[in-house]
Amino acid sequence: MSAPDTLRVELERLVRKEQADKRLPSVVAAVVREGELVSETAVGLADVEAARAATPDTQFRIGSITKTFTATAVMQLRDEGKLGLEDTIDRHLGDVAYRPTIRRLLSHMSGIQREPPGDVWETLDFGSAEDVLDILAEAEQVLPPGTRFHYSNLAFAVLGLLVERVSGKRYDEYLDERIFAPLGMERTSLAPSAPVAVGYLVHPYVDSVAEEAPVDTGGWVPAGQIWGTVRDLGRWASFLADPDAAVLRRETVEEMRVVQTIDEHERWSSGYGLGLALRREGERILAGHGGSMPGFMAMLLVSPRDRIGAVTLTNGSTVSVEELARALVRTTIEQWPTGPEEWRAGDPVPIELEGVLGVWFLEGTEMVLRWRSGRLEATFPDLPDWAPPSVFAREGDDLYRTVSGREQGERLRFVRDETGRVGKLLWATYPVTRDPRPFGSST
């Protein structure tokens, strides 16, 4: 089904207005919905001097959107059992000056300083990948680990080295093989590949631009080096909104979207997961990341609930394009909302769950156990419709583990009577019975 004409016209209008109002050399944008491209818009010049127009195939620097690829690589290795998020980095990198856990590096909770020591943003000398651990030894622990969110490019440089050491592959080779190739992202790379946009600083008081010097981040590649096109990043947005298990399990991507810390403490409007920035947009939480490099700004945001995402790129370094990305997502949801997934009859109920499904009571609170989409779920009828059910995975005879939702991580145990009938459940030690009864009551 093609996008409604009125929607495509409005999305293009929003992009053109952004480019004109904010005086940007060019803006390119893409919107995706349920894995399909809704619109692509390119406005302005990729190269002002040459009068070369930007197109959806023009490469732009995407800055810290690179961190989402680094985080995905780490989670792939975790799922393969090659590392754990609670591992301290010395377990994989040997003797190091600081020993934060991998989780704290991914969530910007390590407390390690933001940039490499020295005046690197003046000299633009970031050191080499081989120097990362030596540079880490010179860095400050500016906050105690776990205190609060503190953004750190150094943390992601360390994570990139971790990917190389654990996988035995160069960082760029790993991304090409495990992420870019499977998703068809042929125009995403560490080095620019023509046609590319030239980065500019737009003068605040004169209608003129100055070309920014190209920056090679050296050892900081895993934090912000990548070049990409809006078309390729649309594929990445589709993946983050509706994951492909060939790259990363859906459950793992959902785990990356779970907030690890709030990064804005006045209104709690934004936070950070595992390599993914989280933004509140009304009743929704959008996931993605922004990017900023000299001459370039970028934003990628997705609404997993709606399987809709947007990417915005510009070759001007003075204005954020986050609000445009939000507006593109919001407009698409309003004008072309996705419907619920089609219901289909599933697998039969396992024998051990016969007689278990239906209404139970946690003291006086009604709880319903059901078998849906091949898994055991618990729902509470008085919860709002947006609240997810608790989902259980079988661990043994009459024993389940809560893998998501309320009481995640806790055990659910079936208690059978002398006839073999399940007469009671114990969930996180709380008794759950077929009729409401006070705690401590055996009848």
Q: Where are the domains of the chain?
A: 5-335, 351-433
Average pLDDT, the chain: 94
- Which residue ranges of the chain lie beneath pLDDT 50? none
pLDDT 10s digits, 392-407:
999 999 999 999 999 9
* 353 DSSP 8-state letter: G
Residue 312 CA: distances (Å) to CA of 225, 227, 263, 301, 321? 17, 14, 22, 9, 6
State the pLDDT at residue 1: 58
Please tell me the CATH code under which domain 351-433 is placed: 2.40.128.50
State the pLDDT at residue 119: 79
Tell me the HSE value of 385 on the side-chain side, using a 13 A CA sphere: 2
State the pLDDT at residue 339: 85
Q: Is 72 helix (H, G, I), strand (E, B) or coil?
A: helix
The values of phi and psi at residue 70, to 5°, are -60, -45
Q: Give the bridge partners for 311, in sequence order.
A: 30, 300
State the pLDDT at residue 118: 80
pLDDT 10s digits, 52-64:
999 999 999 999 9
Q: Looking at the domain covering 5-335, what would its CATH class be?
A: alpha beta
State the pLDDT at residue 390: 96
State the pLDDT at residue 443: 57
State the pLDDT at residue 308: 97
Q: Please state, in angstroms and rounded to a whole number, the distance separating the CA atoms of residues 32 and 241.
A: 9
DSSP class per residue in 291-327: EEETTEEEEEEEETTTTEEEEEEESBSSS--HHHHHH
State the pLDDT at residue 213: 85
Angle between helices 5-21 and 322-335 (to 10 degrees): 160
State the pLDDT at residue 34: 95
